[in-house]
Structure 1
Amino acid sequence: MIAAVVLGRPIDGLGDSKLLTASRRDSLYERITATAEAIGLVVIPPGEIDTRGLHKSNIDGMRRAVARLSCEFGYVLTDGFPVPGLPVPSLGIWKGDQVAACVAAASIVAKVTRDRMMVALDECHPRYGFAVHKGYGTVDHRRALETYGPCPDHRFSFSTVARSGASGVMGENEVGAGVA
């Protein structure tokens, strides 16, 4: 999941989504979505990540998220690395979600949206515990992969999935579980 956010007004408490509690992220998500000038969201399906690689998929996803913004903007700040091919000047900022409000807002929107997708995915595949670990490689997630093998919604190119004996054949029901 990748998000681009144009903030409509300052929001106190924005920060790295991974360092915030779930309840704090949810609260900030509501404030961001209620006041943002524009939000662009992109879901990258597991098959695309497996085919193109995570980094290339993330770069392209950032371009697509920015392209989905419904207002004009003068520049783009990205988290961590530069993104070539954006329609305006841009700057990649190391740990951008810790120092730039718009990057933090995008990180929060992407993480909350992805976490909600993982909860929904858990309803389809409850034995993997997606609602609990949200797609991160926890011990319980690795055990489920070893016990049941991957489901069609796993990213087969990821090492924990590949080690579980994945065949590499994607199912028809692909659901994006991209990174924020």
Structure 2
Amino acid sequence: MPRIDVISDAICPWCWVGKRHLDAALETLGRDGYEVHWRPFQLNPDMPEEGVDRSAYRAAKFGSVERGRELDARVAAMGAEAGLEFRHDRMTRTPNTVRAHRLIRFAEGPRQHALVEALFRAYFAEGQDIGDTAVLAAIAEAQGIEGAAEFLAGNALDAEIRAEDAGFRRLGISGVPSFALDGQVLWSGAMPAAQMVEALRAGA
């Protein structure tokens, strides 16, 4: 069965849009004909473990709070076209995402894809702090993933996640989402579903 790897970060808005487009593409191609695996990339690899105030972070990154809001509005408009609701007004923290990536890897298998959707929705639509262990455990529990709280209490898979993230950077990947088919990166970005269908068919 062909394998699609999605290199993504849980706080990347275009990754949520890209997932929605991928889901639509797979409906066309036949969802059961592909294995989808989510792989870790940190937009902010130097983020403090506890995260930072989002407004301050965005102002520092983009030069002003107003510029950050302009970019948020652009993302929200693109998300709405894909049927997604971005509620930046509810988002107060920019989290470190290593724990979220650990949880995604912990859920490897049939529940992983739905967990990724739940994490995107929790952060972008509900404003939850997905760097917080208790928040992540509750999201996992709601998805029927058992043992998440105990897993997150330790540091299992931490080194593996950081090493994989660093490995993607060494390969030259600097933007997400990036999509690979059977180990070959085909494209980066949240391109429309119809184009994803064409790219996956051509890469098969």
TM-score over 0.5 for the pair: no
Bigger share in helix: 2
TM-score, normalised by the number of residues in structure 1: 0.30
TM-score, normalised by the number of residues in structure 2: 0.28
Higher normalized contact order (CA 8 Å, seq sep 6+, divided by chain length): 2
